[in-house]
């Protein structure tokens, strides 16, 4: 099962690269997105899947369940995730955060009834967001090409490897009782999706081209996460109106420099 998963993901990556080479003509030349042709197809597939199955179920879930129960479900999974978040913080050389994450799991699993109530947050132990992709980024691995994976959605090459580690170390995927495991996995997908319902309309309206809007948002978000919300500024900022032009140029230059 475990090696099977790695195999599956590496096969996926191979297909992605192959399709990208074939579909190379469909790109608009973004250096971060060399396999845009393939990615757009996958993006369409995921959008279709979301529209037909995941979104309707998540909408129903949100409409039927009272908010406290939704919070409880989301907290339950959040608590399980805190375990590996702690490990990743440790791997990133942030022992204080890691200790806080371990404390969160301890407090929430006991006082919070298996994580259903997030007691730790009200005690001032902040929730973090870490994964192996970020850890590798922290270690200096560059992000590589942007890839849209089927089911999992946007990733970079680095985050795809990170994802394999995330799935491999995910406590939920190690539950032996298969029906329980599958129920947990599905519930988690629905609970996560339900939280994004409000953002849907906003993105739909804001984007000129949803594919590139989502791609660029993903890349920006990952960059911000690696720096724990404080990425170095990409633009050089000047305030007077006359230097607008200059600042836009500097901004672009900074971006180009970053890519290299």
The binding site for another protein (CB under 8 A) comprises 28, 30, 62, 67, 70-71, 74-75, 77-78, 118, 127, 129, 194-195, 198-199, 201-202, 205-209, 212-213, 215-217, 220-221, 223-225, 229, 231, 234-235, 237, 239-241, 244-245, 247-249, 251-252, 255
Structure tokens at 109: 């699993």
Shortest spacing between CB 89 and another protein, in angstroms: 15
Shortest spacing between CB 179 and another protein, in angstroms: 25
Shortest spacing between CB 10 and another protein, in angstroms: 29
| 20 or 72: CB nearest another protein | 72
Shortest spacing between CB 198 and another protein, in angstroms: 4
- Reading phi first (left if > 0) and then psi (alpha if -120 to 50, else beta), residue 124 is in left
Shortest spacing between CB 3 and another protein, in angstroms: 31
User: How distant, in Å, are the alpha carbons of 40, 67, 212, 213, 221 from that of 33?
Assistant: 10, 39, 10, 13, 16
Structure tokens at 184: 């947990």
Instruction: Produce one character per residue of 78-89: b if its CB has 16 or more CB atoms within 10 Å, e if not.
Output: bbbbbbbbbbbb
Q: CA 37 to CA 203: how far, in whole Å? A: 22
| 174 or 210: CB nearest another protein | 210
Q: CA 200 to CA 47: how far, in whole Å? A: 12
| 7 or 44: CB nearest another protein | 44
| 163 or 207: CB nearest another protein | 207
Residue with tokens 């995910």: 170
| 152 or 213: CB nearest another protein | 213
Contacts of 83 (CB under 8 A, 6+ apart): 101, 105, 171
Shortest spacing between CB 1 and another protein, in angstroms: 28
| 50 or 216: CB nearest another protein | 216
């Amino acid at each position: 099962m475990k090696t099977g998963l790695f195999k599956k993901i590496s096969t996926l990556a191979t297909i992605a690269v192959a399709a990208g080479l074939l579909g190379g003509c469909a790109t608009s030349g973004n250096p971060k997105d060399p396999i845009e042709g393939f990615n757009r197809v996958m993006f369409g597939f995921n959008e279709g899947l979301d529209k037909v199955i995941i979104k309707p179920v998540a909408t129903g879930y949100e409409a039927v369940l009272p908010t406290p129960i939704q919070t409880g479900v989301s907290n339950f999974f959040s608590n399980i995730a805190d375990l590996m978040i702690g490990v990743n913080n440790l791997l990133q050389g942030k022992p204080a955060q890691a200790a806080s994450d371990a404390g969160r799991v301890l407090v929430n699993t006991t006082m919070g009834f298996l994580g259903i109530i997030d007691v730790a947050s009200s005690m001032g132990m902040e929730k973090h967001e870490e994964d192996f992709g970020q850890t590798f980024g922290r270690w200096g691995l560059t992000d590589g090409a942007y890839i849209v994976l089927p089911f999992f959605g946007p990733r970079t090459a680095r985050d795809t490897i990170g994802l394999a580690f995330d799935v491999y170390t995910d406590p939920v995927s190690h539950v032996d009782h298969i029906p329980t495991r599958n129920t947990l996995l599905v519930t988690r997908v629905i609970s996560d999706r339900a939280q994004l319902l409000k953002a849907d309309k906003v993105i739909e309206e804001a984007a000129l081209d949803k594919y590139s809007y989502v791609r660029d948002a993903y890349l920006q978000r990952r960059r911000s996460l690696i720096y724990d919300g404080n990425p170095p500024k990409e633009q050089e900022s000047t305030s007077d109106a006359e230097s607008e032009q200059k600042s836009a140029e500097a901004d672009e230059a900074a971006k180009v420099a970053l890519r290299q």
